[in-house]
Amino acid sequence: MLANRIERGRYLDSVALMRISRRIAALAGVEAAALMIGTPSNKGLLREADLLSAEGEHAQPDDLLIAVRATDAQPALDLALRLLAEPAAPAAERLRRARSLDAALRLEPQANVALISVPGEFAAAEARKALERGLNVMVFSDNVSIEDEVALKRLAGERGLLLMGPDCGTALIGGAPLAFANAVPRGDIGIVSASGTGLQEVSSLIARLGGGVSHGIGVGGRDLDERVGALAMLAGIEVLDADPATRTLVLISKPPAPRVAQKVLERLRRSAKRSVVCFLGENGSTLTAAAEAALGRRLDSSVPQLPKLRGAVRGLYCGGTLAAEASLILRAAGAQGECVDLGDDRYTRGRPHPMIEPELRNDHVAHALADPAIAVLLFDVVLGYGAHADPAGVLAQALQGARKPAIASVTGTEQDPQGWSRQVATLRDAGVAVAPSNAHAAALAAAMVT
């Protein structure tokens, strides 16, 4: 039995909807369930999953759509409605609320940053409104067209503002962590990054090495694409160059388009401040080396001695740039294997990101443990605001009884809600070899199979 129910004019955060979906899907007799905003892309996902009925086709982008396939769908629909009606947590009630940008600015007239986290179809319009009101903008939303991205970044440049994103998952502005970010002390190192987890890794390593960050500006993963031309990275360099609290500039990106890289480096050469450039994979660049160069200090690289094995490495990652860095290190060492980015759209369509729900990695762990060609498992554990409360505990549970060596690194700081040392201890108690950084973890895994 397939049943859809449309709740007209209702919007909830996608993570909250996904968690309700999981509770509904766990009911006896329920084959599949999903709660989504009725955008065309979401309806497409439901259609592919055989969860969209003729009634559901009529849902509009400002509607909430409940979809259930079950032996008897009515109890599941009833539970969904009860869960949706539950009051918000008391802590959330202390937050002031506004239903429009104008209303929010009346509450916070001194605000100078707007964070946009709405379905991608609406994100560009909301970002434009904020820029036109004189606000810097962080666009957390993805699925924004590259044409809209370029137009928004040009508008921001004309108005002397920053447009971070789209798909900007991390920023540290004036000591305030935005979205997925870590508890990092203030300092004199400014970061401009086209990678969220890259910014998290470098800022966390800087903190653990005794340094601090003035600002961490995320620009979105496509900013150094030929079509965008590093508009936000160049703007970020301008901001940090003019900031008296910033003495060192650090740039982070996957390999950019060659002409874009040249433009960025030419601008950097005009700066009087010392700089560190980490275009991953170029000249052996790693995130660890970038953090060390920024401070002039070396990370303790001592790692456990592990046996040599025949077979391949399987990396199962929550962070896309961390997965890319590990892949480059394995390839450079001639090690067999692959690193899978489980935060990629093909794994998260209609599901929360694995940094929020690391249980999504568990099935992949089980398959890797059962694969005779896999000799070593490699993981990232990413801490910070917005991340799961105990990602190491979830991974340790998935590895119970494992007979293959597992290597991990923990991206985070002691001041993060999860506590870096507590997470490291959980992994070590589960028999996981914990390396001091992602680059060290990948190098250790490569050494075991080459």
| DSSP strands (E only) in 236-311 | 248-253, 274-279
Q: 2-88: which CATH topology?
A: Alpha-Beta Plaits (3.30.70)
pLDDT at 338: 96
All structural domains of the chain with their residue ranges: 2-88, 96-165, 168-299, 312-449
Q: Which residues contact 148 (CB under 8 A, 6 or more apart)?
A: 124, 166
Joined tokens for residue 90: 């008391």
- Farthest CA pair distance, the chain: 69
CATH topology match: 168-299 vs 312-449:
yes
CATH code, 312-449 = 3.40.50.261
For 64-82, how does the pLDDT look when each residue is reduced to its tens digit (9 = 90+)?
999 999 999 999 999 999 9
Helix (H) or strand (E) holding 24: helix 14-25
Give the CA angle between residues 17, 20, 21 to the nearest 5°.
85
Count of CB atoms situated within 10 Å of the CB of 427:
24
For 352-395, how does the pLDDT look when each residue is reduced to its tens digit (9 = 90+)?
789 988 988 999 999 999 999 999 999 999 999 989 999 999 99
Report d(CA 67, CA 3) in Å as an integer.
6
CATH code, 96-165 = 3.40.50.720
Report d(CA 179, CA 350) in Å as an integer.
19
Q: 168-299: which CATH topology?
A: Rossmann fold (3.40.50)
Joined tokens for residue 302: 């001592």
For 29-56, how does the pLDDT look when each residue is reduced to its tens digit (9 = 90+)?
999 899 998 988 889 889 988 999 999 9
